[in-house]
Amino acid sequence: MKRIKRYIAFFLLLVVSVGAIGCGGEDGPSQTATVTGTVADTALNPISGASVVVGSVSSSTGSDGTYILERVTSGLQNFSVSAPGYLSVSKTIDVTPMATTYVPKTILEQKDSKSTDIGSGGGEVANSDGSVKLSIPAEALSSDLSIVITNCSLLSAPLPVPDGYKLVSLVYISPTGTVLAKPATLTISAPSETPVSFYWFDSSASAWQSLGEGTVSTDTVSVSISNFGWIAAVVPVSVGNISGRVITSGGAGIAGADVRTPSSLAVTDSSGNYTLSNLPVGTVSVTASKIGYIDNSVSVVVQAGETETADNITLSPVSSNGSVAGKIMPASGSGVIAGARVVAQGKTSYSDSNGDYVISELSAGTVTVSVYAYGYVNQDASVTITTGHATSQNFSLSAVSVADFSDGFESESGWSAAGLWNRIQNITLSNNTLAPYYVTFSSGDDGSLPAAHGGSYSYWFGDSATGSFIGEQRSIPPDTELSGGTSAFLATTKGDLISPSINLVGYSTVTLTFWTWWEVEARDPSTFDQMKVNLSDDDGTNWTMLLKINPEFTNPEDVSKPYSSGGFFTPGVWVKHQYDLTSYAGKTIKLAFSFDAMDLQSNGFRGWFIDDVSISKDAISASSSRKLF
Ligand SMILES: [Ca+2]
Ligand SMILES: [Ca+2]
């Protein structure tokens, strides 16, 4: 039912999509376009979650402050940006049809924290630091209004100020759209240059409207205003323009790069070209920035009435990778752990003498960082890697107290048992379905299965139905007397017992120990009824044989008799094997006990038992042979 619903939902989605595509392809009343840009605060930090509206299309900015609006109607469109706690910006932009329009970076000013309630009696409003003031006369307002006056960064101006002027102060008075019945007086600090003229930004016309020249006193200048919103104070200045291009190191134009001077903003077009207009004469630094690139600047001398061509600004991409770094310490006591191995995304590093590590060139995203140190329990941490950043992650490792890996199979512990491998509890069972007719045991041997080496459980490659590894006995033609037991199927006479992952990290010498009891054919036990111990250090993809425990022995005349861990034609005994795994120190391994009868002949014996597998860091003397059988 759930599936059906999903198909219906998908079908509906398909219909809607096809409908929308059809509509766009049939040339609607206006051609559509894409509008993109970024939103930042006055410190140029991106603002995420800002609402951006162009005409009837809206979207919000991502974590990098970027927005993309698609299927926007082309031509002159209202563009507005708002975010909680910030002053909104609203202006008109010209959207190019069938193309991407890059909007210069929108800087949002944080709204001043102080608000003042003024009624019809009038009063004075100041911002929180008192740098700008508004005196509202009686009867200017018909009802109470909560007024906020914000002294803004010059970069927050919604549009460049008119030609021939330089912005010296920018004030925003809200609620915007308020019109006073009698003019109020706005007073700001006097700039060093005069005369000071004022403009009010008419957002519906997307243009600055002149308020005339301000009245300058010793250290302030004031002007009459009747409309709330943006008020710009400007001084006349000789101005010029800059044009230039932002490129990659390969010379390709970078579209949509933000270009700024201390007082103006532009954005590059699809060819990477930009123009900054109405800049005060003199030397100015022009900085280009684009998400994914490292900022770069050029210095340009602006000449009055001229358009200077700036040197190309070359942007290099930021590394697409991040890093993780931190310190590795013991969980108890003081000090640091030097020489710890740290692994993330397959990259390895080691802590230095201060316990500090760093792994660079990691792909962004959630990454598992694993730390291994001799004598300590290894530890994983999940960290978030961010492009171009170093994520900090410290580790406190607990000291290893006891030996390392041991399993007596007294409980289920994650071994994978295939074929006839099974974990058995001591049972009173003997291989007497096959003996003495097919299989011959020595005098006094009743064919009993052994008790576990330790505890009461062990793993056995054998079948409790027969007490042997014959699997299903051959019936067509019938098995014959003293055959040693003939299997019906090859597939049931082999199987692997595979350990869970065993961590050998942190050890300088590693020894595998296990106990085994086995009984196989005596006909040719060096070739058949193979008992191998294999090892994988890549989670089971590839296996290496450590040892084969079969004896070097043949006795084709006695096909019904067994060879066991006790010897020829004698009951098995538990024997200990040890193997030096030091060459696998620092790795995570799996062990496999692999039985394979290899053929159907002489398979009526008790098979292979394993118990008390352990791996310790006890040293093996250098003079001892690798194979300790
Ligand atoms: Ca056991
Ligand atoms: Ca055999």
Q: How far apart are CA 506 and CA 420, in angstroms?
A: 35
Q: Name the band, by pLDDT with cuts 50, 70 and 90, for residue 156.
A: confident
155 Cα to the center of ligand 1, angstroms: 77
| Long-range contacts from 50-56, C-beta under 8 angstroms, 24+ separation | 50/81, 50/82, 50/83, 50/86, 50/108, 51/81, 51/82, 51/83, 52/79, 52/80, 52/81, 53/78, 53/79, 53/80, 53/81, 54/78, 54/79, 54/93, 54/95, 55/95
Local confidence band at 12 (pLDDT 50, 70, 90 cut-offs): very low
* For residue 575, pLDDT beyond 90: yes
Q: Tell me the CA–centroid distance for residue 562 and ligand 2, in Å.
A: 10
Average pLDDT score over residue span 461-487:
94
The CATH number given to whatever domain includes residue 279 is: 2.60.40.1120
Cα–Cα distances (Å) from 400 to 36, 68, 253, 358, 596, in that order, read 56, 54, 58, 24, 38
Average pLDDT, the chain: 88
Cα gap 122→488, rounded to integer Å: 107
What is the structure's pLDDT at 617? Answer: 65
The closest of 398, 347, 351, 350 to 368, measured between CA atoms, is 347
Q: Are 80 and 168 members of one domain? A: no
d(CA 276, CA 411): 76
Which pLDDT does position 620 carry in this prediction? 34
Do 146 and 121 reside in the same domain of the chain?
Answer: yes
Amino acid 270 reads S
- Proximal ligand: closest to the CA of 456: 1
Token pair listed for 451: 């008790």
405 C-alpha to center of ligand 1: Å? 14
Q: Is the Cβ–Cβ distance between 284 and 166 less than 8 Å?
A: no
Relative to the alpha carbon of 484, which ligand is closest? Answer: 2
Return the pLDDT at 309: 96
**Do 120 and 152 fall into the same domain?**
yes
Other Cβ atoms less than 10 A from the Cβ of 125: the count is 23
Supply the pLDDT for residue 6. Answer: 42
Domain co-membership, 272 together with 230 = no
* Neighbouring residues of the ion ligand 1, judged by CB less than 5 Å: 408-409, 452, 454-455, 457, 611
Place of tokens 């999940």: 382
Looking at the DSSP bridge assignments, the partners of residue 498 are 416, 592
Using the mean position of ligand 2's atoms as its centre, give its distance from the Cα of residue 601 in Å: 5
Cα 471 to averaged position of ligand 1 atoms, centre (Å): 24
439 C-alpha vs ligand 1 centroid, how far in Å? Answer: 28
* Spacing, Cα 456 to ligand 1 middle (Å): 5
Residues spanned by the domain of 337: 322-397
Both 346 and 304 in one domain: the answer is no
Least confident residue range of 23-32, 254-263, 316-325, 608-617: 23-32
- Are residues 549 and 415 part of one domain? yes
286-307 confidence digits (pLDDT tens): 999 998 788 999 999 999 989 9
Mean pLDDT of 585-595: 91
Give the pLDDT confidence score for residue 441 in this predicted structure. 94
pLDDT for the residue numbered 479: 94
Q: Is residue 21 part of a domain?
A: no
Residue 536 forms part of a structural domain: yes
Residue predicted with more confidence, 257 or 10: 257
Read off the pLDDT of each residue in 415-443 and give the average, rounded to a whole number.
Answer: 89
Residue at 495 is within a domain: yes
Could you tell me which residue, 123 or 193, shows the higher pLDDT? 123
- Check residue 320 and give its pLDDT: 66
CATH number of the CATH domain containing 67 = 2.60.40.10
CA distances from 76 to 33, 54, 55, 93, 100 (A): 12, 10, 9, 6, 14
The confidence band for 25, taking pLDDT boundaries of 50, 70 and 90, is very low
pLDDT score, position 628 = 27
Distance of alpha carbon 615 from alpha carbon 628, whole angstroms: 14
Q: Quickly state the pLDDT bin for 512 (edges 50, 70, 90).
A: very high
| pLDDT of 7 strictly over 90 | no
How many H-runs (helices) and E-runs (strands) does the chain carry?
A: 1, 50
Average pLDDT value for residue range 531-554: 95
User: What confidence tier does 193 reach under pLDDT thresholds 50, 70, 90?
Assistant: confident
7 in any annotated domain: no
Rounded to the nearest angstrom, the distance between the alpha carbon of 520 and the centre of ligand 1 is 21
Asked whether residue 26 carries a pLDDT value surpassing 50, the answer given is: no
Phi–psi pair at 294, nearest 5 degrees: -90, 135
What is the 8-class DSSP label of residue 98?
Answer: T
Share of the chain above pLDDT 70, in %: 91
Distance 458 CA to ligand 2 centre (A): 22
Classify burial at 385, counting beta carbons within 10 Å of its beta carbon; exposed 0-12, middle 13-18, buried 19 or more: buried
pLDDT at 415: 96
Q: Of 341, 371, 397, which closes a domain?
A: 397
437 sits in the region (left: phi over 0; alpha: psi -120 to 50; else beta) called alpha
Are residues 73 and 32 in contact, defined by beta-carbon separation less than 8 angstroms? yes
Specify the amino acid at residue 238.
S
User: For residue 600, which ligand has an atom nearest its CA?
Assistant: 2
Do 140 and 49 reside in the same domain of the chain?
no
pLDDT in the model for residue 531: 98
Shortest-distance ligand to the CA of residue 469 = 2
Q: Are residues 389 and 302 in the same domain?
A: no
Is the model's pLDDT at 254 over the cut of 70? Answer: yes
- Residue 506 pLDDT more than 70? no
Q: Are 164 and 234 in contact (CB under 8 A)?
A: no
Which CATH number is 134's domain given? 2.60.220.30
Same domain, 215 and 261: no
Residues 138 and 59 in one domain: no
Q: Which ligand is nearest to the CA of 459?
A: 1
End-of-domain residue from the set 289, 317, 345: 317
Residue 393 lies in a domain: yes
C-alpha to C-alpha distance for 599 and 611, rounded to whole angstroms: 26
What is the distance, to the nearest Å, from the Cα of residue 35 to the centroid of all Cα atoms in its chain?
29
Q: Is residue 11 part of a domain?
A: no
Residues 304 and 326 in one domain: no
- Distance (Å, whole) CA 89 – CA 4: 47
Sign of CA dihedral 473, 476, 478, 480: negative
Asked if 148 and 217 sit in the same domain, the reply is: yes
Residue 21 has pLDDT above 50, yes or no: no
Ligand sitting nearest the alpha carbon of 487: 2
Residues 543-572, mean pLDDT to the nearest whole number: 94
Domain count, the chain: 5
- The pLDDT of 460-464, averaged and rounded, is 94
The CA 382 to ligand 2 mean position distance, Å, reads 50
Residue 628 in domain: no
Q: Which residues contact 224 (CB under 8 A, 6 or more apart)?
A: 183, 184, 185, 186, 211
Å from CA of 412 to ligand 2 middle: 29
Domain-located, residue 9: no
What's the pLDDT band for 41 if we cut at 50, 70, 90? very high
pLDDT tens for 98-110 read 888 999 999 999 9
Domain boundary among 187, 209, 236: 236
Distance of CA 432 to the CA centre of its chain: 61
What pLDDT, on the 0 to 100 scale, is given for residue 159? 87
pLDDT at 17 over 80: no
Specify the pLDDT at position 263. 83
Ligand nearest to the CA of 614: 1
